[in-house]
Chains A and B, each alone.
Chain A
């Protein structure tokens, strides 16, 4: 007798647990406002990334085409992957002194892991992390970027 009682108890418990599970899925089937889908390419217009999101390294320039990079190469040392290469040149200042200035700030996006170490190590806050994350390209070569604009100058007062 105890066997039979157990038998039917098992069946009852089984059906109950299965129906409990179906209740959950049934709830979501009938509550469509719970849908969490991100319609990514469609919501591009409204999509805002968090301001700290690390998408790529960029070098902000002001309206006078000036940047803050002194060419100290701290970021190049800080980068674990060697994705930053700074080529410097000697520039003649108006007062006659020769000073080291950046020629090109080469940034290999394809090597970058967005670890933020370069930005943290920069003493003059010349580089920051940009929020753009759509980096796919057809030609790998275009991932090698030069961050300083052509003919850009060092901002006054930054040493």
Chain B
């Protein structure tokens, strides 16, 4: 018998290193965290990424401007619409055209529906990570209805690829408006249930309050964006600061909180869901008639130059940096993905907490691993 090799358990310095991932239930993907532990307390975290790198940026250099958009659906697969929209907006910016008003409205509605669906999934997964299995199914019930809208109008549930330069791919389905209104009513009726089973639950509150504190300064210096940063008091909503599509035509609040802990992040997202519902409600009855797509050339060639467009995904700021050399293919594309920056703050804020807290922190940062690696 080889015996128990104590070096396996504890290193020579007496350190206890736990490898969380690449396959682990609460990393939501193939993220590998090397965690130095002292008992159950985290001393240090080192994220190891790259297990799911698919070189989407490099691949896009080979594709035409119409074609490369589809690949971005696979980055943050929970916000495929918004990723696609970012690319379409970049191309429109370079071509100096704008999408038709109808397309703008539909884009905004679809983006907010995506945000709702993404936050629903996040809500369920947060419960799941904290050990409550049931909320996951309640979240999926509403998410399923949103996915049905996507399927009916866009043709696909997750990787829709509905955005094209100049507008949307096809016109909306005749049922689109009615279905959207129905789902909004359904979600509005479920707010109380969500609060009853999760937000107000004392175990949940104790698990999240005061856990994973992220200060405003840290949030800014680590480049954290999205609800994670807004929970620390950083105003960074692109929809407010740099409105695109139809966001300049709707009234909504940027949800800010000064808590900085997991509970604040949770509350910010929960309130954002209400804001998304209100945005859709403002738009859904006012979709202007007209073309759904601005006429563009068969082969799009962008003028030589550099273009940058940013949008607000459910997880933060997605920036598309595009360099064109005047040909039909992009010269270089770089995505500034929100999850990559948000992950970078994890080692800083998880230090000193327990393993159980690490799961809560990861859940409330809402990491989507394919978006980190791209």
Contact = CB atoms under 8 A, between A and B. Distances in A.
Direct contact of A and B (CB under 8 A): yes
Interface string A43-58: 0000001101110000
B155 A53 contact: yes
Interface stretch (A85-93, A108-116, A146-154): A108-116
Interface in B186-202: 193, 196-197, 200-202
Interface stretch (B23-31, B63-71, B107-115): B63-71
B197 to A, nearest CB: 5
Nearest to B195: A20
Nearest to A49: B151
B144 to A, nearest CB: 7
Interface stretch (A11-19, A60-68, A95-103): A11-19
B170 interface: yes
B141 A20 contact: no
Contact of B197 (A24, A120, A129): A24
Contacts of B298: 121
Contact of B161 (A20, A77, A78, A115): A115
B154 A52 contact: yes
B170 A80 contact: no
Interface residues of A, number: 27
B151 A50 contact: yes
Contacts of A17: 200-202, 205
Contacts of B9: none
A116 B202 contact: no
Given A21-B196, A24-B196, A53 B151 contact: yes
Interface string B110-137: 0000000000000000000000001001
Contact of A117 (B66, B137, B144, B148): B66
Contacts of A78: 66-67
B159 interface: yes
A54 B156 contact: yes
Given A24-B193, A115-B70, A116-B161, A52 B202 contact: no
Contacts of A33: none
B169 A120 contact: yes
A156 to B, nearest CB: 26
Interface of B: 63-64, 66-68, 70-71, 134, 137, 141, 144, 148, 151-156, 159, 161, 164, 169-170, 173, 193, 196-197, 200-203, 205, 298
Interface of A: 13-14, 17-18, 20-21, 23-25, 36, 49-50, 52-54, 77-80, 113-117, 120-121, 129
21 contacts: A14-B202, A18-B203, A20-B200, A21-B196, A23-B196, A24-B197, A36-B137, A50-B155, A52-B152, A53-B151, A77-B64, A78-B66, A78-B67, A80-B63, A80-B67, A80-B70, A113-B159, A114-B159, A115-B70, A115-B161, A120-B164
